[in-house]
Amino acid sequence: MYRERLYLPDHLPNEKVEFVLRRHLFVAFGEGLLFIVLFAIPVGFYYFFKILFPHLLASEVVYTLLLLSVSVYYLYILLFAYTSFIDYWLDIWVVTNERIISIEQRGLFARKFSEQQLFLLQDVSSEVHGILATLFHFGILLPSQLAQNRTPYLNRCRGLTRLLYESCNSLRPAEKIILERGSFNYL
């Protein structure tokens, strides 16, 4: 078994990582299918030209230009596929014994960090929508803070104070651990 080395912003003393959540592999698989189709396109074009315009491929100049184009095409599709994977891989939600940290990779040049202290949590709920989400056990995890939804002002700030964990796997275990670790103060 490998063990991930995690980059935690402002690592607190005695802070221990409880678990890490990522979007479900099924979500990444959907993006992967798109790249498989993109990888297959030049092969389809090759056979199309080979059957309908065989004389074009016989020319050295045309063949060279096609090879250079296909080479560049594959390099960039490969780069986009790898970037897409890194985008998936670097989007994580770390639950420590102190807080929940959400790290979102937005493209190549932007990252967003947000965190929520466990002692401020009021409750945790999980939502599963749709057939695929039910079959593959993924959904939305919603930890909400004290007094949220109770006053109009905080309702307006909900987007800032409420973390939303989309398409994460291991919903129920995650919910259970957060409930155990958080000191929930029901007022």
Residues that bind other proteins in the complex, under the rule CB under 8 A: 2, 4-7, 60-61, 64-65, 67-68, 71-72, 74-76, 78-79, 82-83, 85-86, 89-90, 92, 103, 105, 108
Per the CB < 8 A criterion, the answer to whether 171 and 139 are in contact is yes
Q: Which secondary-structure segment (H or E) carries 157? A: none
Amino acid at 107: G
Min separation Cβ 136 and other proteins, Å: 18
Q: Where are the beta strands (DSSP E) in the chain?
A: 17-21, 92-96, 99-106, 110-117, 121-127, 139-145, 165-168
Nearer to other proteins, 10 or 60 (CB): 60
Nearer to other proteins, 109 or 186 (CB): 109
Nearer to other proteins, 46 or 74 (CB): 74
Min separation Cβ 178 and other proteins, Å: 21
Interstrand relation of 121-127 and 139-145 (parallel, antiparallel or unpaired): antiparallel
Min separation Cβ 123 and other proteins, Å: 29
